[in-house]
Structure 1
Amino acid sequence: MPIYEYQCQACQHEMEALQKMSDPALVACPECKADKLVKKISAAGFRLKGGGWYETDFKSGGSKKNLAGDAGSSSGGGSSSSSDS
């Protein structure tokens, strides 16, 4: 469930409310009891970072990173194993 931010237009009290998206907006201020609560617009509380769909599929430029960290799957030749003998 998302957290919504509200501000009272009468007393400027600010609050947060955990509500379902289908719940009606709150209108009564818990501080001054006036029906002047207005839902504020705020940024989302999560961030997509690290490896994952964005990093591997949609990020522009360069070659794709080896997210598994497998040393043997890189295309630079061998460094630790040699079969000369």
Structure 2
Amino acid sequence: MPTYSYRCTECEKAFDIHQAFTDDTLTVCPNCGGVLRKIFSPVGVTFTGSGFYRNDSRSTTSSSESAGKSSTSTTSTPSAPAASPAPAPAKPAATS
């Protein structure tokens, strides 16, 4: 169950409580009967390993190749993942 933090607007008492997602938000301070406010804070999540960053799955290219690709790339929204093309072979096959 997630832990939620609350602070009273009257007596400034702060406390944490375990609540289910389906539980109602607390509104009354158990200490003085004042109005409670939910405190929001950043979540402690760390993304590690491959696949979390945009450059993880890219092959290495020279600066002239990357400059040519940037001018022909399509625009996409930052929040939506862009469709990736089929991976190109790393080395061309030797011709006999």
- Percent of pairs identical after alignment? 31
Q: How far off its partner does 1:63 sit?
A: 4.8
- SS of 2:22's equivalent in the other structure is coil
Q: Over residues 22-69 of structure 1, what are the superposed CA-to-partner deviations in whole Å (9 max), with x where a residue is unaligned?
A: 21001222322x141111121113222x31431xxx3327758xxxxx
Structure 2: unaligned runs, 5 residues or longer: 61-96
Equivalent position of 2:43 in the other structure: 44
* 1:20 partner SS: coil
> Who is 1:18 aligned against?
18
2-structure distance, mates of 1:53, 1:60:
9
The corresponding residue for 1:30 is 30
2:2 matches 1:7: no
Residues 64-79 of structure 1 correspond to what in structure 2 (within 5 A)? none
Please report the RMSD computed on the Cα atoms of aligned residues, expressed in angstroms. Answer: 2.5
Equivalent residue number for residue 67 of structure 1? none
The two structures have a TM-score, normalised by structure 2, of 0.50
Deviant stretches of 4+, over 3 Å? 61-64
Structure 1, unpaired ranges of 5+: 65-85
Closer, same or farther: CA 52–17 of 1 in aligned 2, 3 Å: farther
1:59-84 deviation line (CA, Å, top 9, x unaligned): 327758xxxxxxxxxxxxxxxxxxxx
Q: Find the aligned partners of 2:44 and 2:17 in 1 and give their Cα distance.
A: 14
